[in-house]
Amino acid sequence: MGLKEKLHTFRVKNQDKKWFPVFSGFHTFLFTPNETTHNGTHIKGADDLKRTMNTVVMSLVPCLIFGMFNTGYQHYLALGEIEPVANGFFSAGFWTMDNFLLGLWKVLPLVIVSYGVGLAIEFLFCVIKKHEIEEGYLVTGMLVPLIVPVDLPLWMLAVAVAFGVVIGKEVFGGTGMNILNPALTIRAFLFFAYPTWMSGDKVWVHGAVDTAGTADAISGETVLGFLAQGRTAEMGYSLSDMFLGFIPGSIGETSTLLILLGGLFLVFSKIASWRIMLSAVIGALAMGLIFNGIVEAGWIPEYSKFYTLMSFEYWQHLLVGGLAFGIVFMATDPVTGSQTNQGKWIYGFLIGFLSVMIRVFNPGYPEGVFLAILLMNVFAPTIDHYVVRGNIKKRMKRLKTATIYPKPSDEVDALKTETA
C-alpha cells in the first residue's frame, strides 16, 4: 500500500476528530485532494489558493537569499574586515560563504519564529472554528522576516506576530476577511511598541546594538537616515549600491533589482495587480517631482530639516527604503487592497504619493511606506464603494428609459382606483 492510499484511509477514518483540519492542512500540501465537482461547473481551472500563494513566496525567495548575504556583508563591512564591493551585482566580495553563513545564522531564526508562531495560531483558530486551514499566512510568514531589522530580538517578533495574526486577521474571520495587511500590522506593532529596535542607526547592521558605546562601536545608518539628518556627505553609497541592494536596511527590502524581478514575475504570472504597482510608482514619482519643484522654486530654505529629503532626486526615492518592496509585495495584497480595477489605480497612486510625503515630513522615522499602505488599506473599501457606485448610477440612468409593460392585474387595480 502506497503513501497515497495509507493517508487516504487515515483521512477517512479520522474525519470527525478535532485535530482533523491540521492533518488535512498537511495532507493537502502533499497531495491535492480527491474532491470532485457536484453541480455547477463540472470542470475547474488549474489554480487554487495554494498555488497562488506559493507563487508569491517563490518571488520572495531571491530577496530572502540576498538578504542573508547582505546581512553578513554589512556586518563585516562595518567592522572593517572587508572592502566595499564595486564590481556590480555579482561582485565576488559579496557572495562569500562567510557573509552567507552569518546571514543564515541571523535570518533563519526570524523566519522560523515568524512561521512557527503564526501557523500555530492559525491552526489553533482552524481547530476551534472547525474550518480548513487557509493559505494566507504562507505569504505573511515570509514577508515578516524580510521587513524587520536583522537584530530584532526573537521574542519581540513572536509577540508581534501573535498580535498581528490575532488582531489583524483572525478577529475579522481569517484569510480573506481582514481589513489591514497582516504583515504590516505586525510591523506597525513592532514600530510602536519597540521604536528603538525599529529605527535609528543601530539596528540595521548586525552587531551595532551590542557594540554601541564601546570602542568598537559600529554604525549602520540607512540611506534615508542619512538624508533625514542632512548628512548626505557622509553617506558614501552610490546609485548602483542602492539599486543592487548593497546598503543597510530591513533584511529583504534593500535590493531594488531583485524586487523588480520578483514584481515582473508576479505581473507575468497574473498573480499581482500591475495596475497597483504601476500607479504606485507613478504616485511616488509625482510626489517626488512636486518636492523637487518646491526646492527649485526656492520656497524652502537650505537649513530646513526637510531640505535634504525634499531635494533628493525624485526617482531615487524608489531605490531606497522599503518603497519598492512595499509597492510590489504589500500594496498588491488582494484582500486588503482595492478590489475593482479602477479603484486599483487610485489606491496604488495614493500609496506611492503618501509614502514619499510621509517619508519627507517625518524625519524622525523616515520611512512612510508601511503607514501609507495601512492607511490606504483602510480607505480601499471606500474607493471601491465609489467605483461601484459609478456602475450603479449608470444602471439607474438606464432605468429612466425602461420599457415596462403593465401586468393585467395592474390594469384592474388602476380601474378600481379610477372608479373609486
Which listed range, 39-47, 81-89, 304-312, 365-373, lies at the site for other proteins (CB under 8 A)?
39-47
Question: Counting contacts by CB under 8 A, is residue 211 touching other proteins?
Answer: no
The answer to whether 332 touches 260, Cβ cutoff 8 Å, is: no
Distance CA 362, CA 100 (A): 34
Question: Counting contacts by CB under 8 A, is residue 122 touching other proteins?
Answer: no
Q: How many other C-beta atoms can be found within 10 angstroms of the C-beta atom of residue 316?
A: 14
Question: Counting contacts by CB under 8 A, is residue 175 touching other proteins?
Answer: yes
The answer to whether 369 touches 301, Cβ cutoff 8 Å, is: no
Among 74, 340, 355, 377, binds other proteins (CB under 8 A): 340
Q: How far is the CB of 91 from other proteins (least distance, A)?
A: 32
Question: Counting contacts by CB under 8 A, is residue 395 touching other proteins?
Answer: yes
Which listed range, 87-95, 241-249, 330-338, 354-362, lies at the site for other proteins (CB under 8 A)?
330-338
Question: Counting contacts by CB under 8 A, is residue 130 touching other proteins?
Answer: no
Question: Counting contacts by CB under 8 A, is residue 255 touching other proteins?
Answer: no
Nearest to 135 by CA among 67, 7, 71, 49: 49
Among 115, 126, 135, 277, binds other proteins (CB under 8 A): 135
Q: Which is nearer to other proteins, 403 or 419 (CB)?
A: 403
CA angle, residues 126, 128, 131, in degrees to nearest 5 = 40
Residue 287: partners with Cβ closer than 8 Å, 6 or more residues away: 314, 352, 353, 354, 355, 356, 357
Nearest to 247 by CA among 63, 101, 73, 367: 73
Q: Which is nearer to other proteins, 233 or 402 (CB)?
A: 402
The answer to whether 271 touches 49, Cβ cutoff 8 Å, is: no
Question: Counting contacts by CB under 8 A, is residue 62 touching other proteins?
Answer: no
Among 31, 299, 315, 386, binds other proteins (CB under 8 A): 31
Question: Counting contacts by CB under 8 A, is residue 65 touching other proteins?
Answer: no
Q: Which is nearer to other proteins, 113 or 330 (CB)?
A: 330
Q: How far is the CB of 348 from other proteins (least distance, A)?
A: 12
Which listed range, 41-49, 156-164, 284-292, 358-366, lies at the site for other proteins (CB under 8 A)?
41-49
The answer to whether 273 touches 343, Cβ cutoff 8 Å, is: no
C-alpha distances in Å from residue 294, one per residue of 216, 227, 289, 304, 310? 42, 17, 9, 13, 8
Q: How far is the CB of 312 from other proteins (least distance, A)?
A: 33
Among 233, 398, 418, 419, binds other proteins (CB under 8 A): 398
Question: Counting contacts by CB under 8 A, is residue 270 touching other proteins?
Answer: yes
Distance CA 209, CA 205 (A): 8
Burial letters 54-67, b for 16+ CB under 10 A, else e: ebbbebbebbbbbb
Q: Which is nearer to other proteins, 63 or 133 (CB)?
A: 133
Site for other proteins in 272-291 (CB under 8 A): 273, 275
Question: Counting contacts by CB under 8 A, is residue 98 touching other proteins?
Answer: no
Question: Counting contacts by CB under 8 A, is residue 240 touching other proteins?
Answer: no
Which listed range, 48-56, 66-74, 226-234, 299-307, lies at the site for other proteins (CB under 8 A)?
48-56
Q: Where are the beta strands (DSSP E) in 145-219?
A: none
The answer to whether 300 touches 307, Cβ cutoff 8 Å, is: yes
Provide the CA 133 distance to its chain's centre, in angstroms.
21
The answer to whether 372 touches 355, Cβ cutoff 8 Å, is: yes
Which residues form the interface with other proteins (CB under 8 A)?
Answer: 4, 7-8, 28-52, 54-55, 132, 134-136, 173-177, 268-271, 273, 275, 334-335, 337, 339-341, 344, 384, 388, 391-392, 394-396, 398-399, 402-405, 407-409
